[in-house]
Structure 1
Amino acid sequence: MQCDNSSTEGQKFQVRKLDISDKSKGFIELLQQLTVCDSVSDKEFKDRFQELSSLGDDHVVCVIEDSQSGKIIATGSVFIEKKFIRNCGKVGHIEDVVVDSNARGKQLGKKIIAFLSDHARSMGCYKVILDCSSENKTFYEKCGFKQKEIQMVMYFT
Structure 2
Amino acid sequence: MAETFKIRRLEMSDKRKGYIELLGQLSVSGSVTDEEFDRRFEEISLYGEEHVICVIEEETSGKIAATGSAMIEKKFLRNCGKAGHIEDVVVDSRFRGKQLGKKVVEFLSDHCKSMGCYKVILDCSVENKVFYEKCGLVYKGVHMAKYFA
TM-score by length of 1: 0.92
The corresponding residue for 1:105 is 97
* Counterpart selection for 1:136 from 128, 132, 136: 128
Q: Distance in 2 between matches of 1:52 and 1:125?
A: 20
Give yes or no for contact 2:68–2:87 (8 Å, CA) kept in 1.
Answer: yes
- Return the letter of the residue paired with 2:24: Q
The corresponding residue for 1:86 is 78
The corresponding residue for 1:20 is 12
RMSD of Structure 2 on Structure 1 (CA): 1.1
- Return the letter of the residue paired with 1:39: S
Q: Give the SS at the match of 1:94.
A: strand
Q: Give the SS at the match of 2:5.
A: coil
Q: Distance in 2 between matches of 1:39 and 1:118?
A: 32
1:1-157 aligned within 5 A:
12-157=4-149
Q: Give the SS at the match of 1:23.
A: helix
Give aligned-pair identity as a percent. Answer: 66
TM-score by length of 2: 0.97
Q: Distance in 2 between matches of 1:142 and 1:14?
A: 21
Where does structure 1 lack aligned partners over 5 or more consecutive residues?
1-8
Task: Give 1:15 deviation, angstroms.
Answer: 1.1
- Aligned length, in residue pairs: 148
Where does structure 2 lack aligned partners over 5 or more consecutive residues?
none
Q: Distance in 2 between matches of 1:124 and 1:137?
A: 26
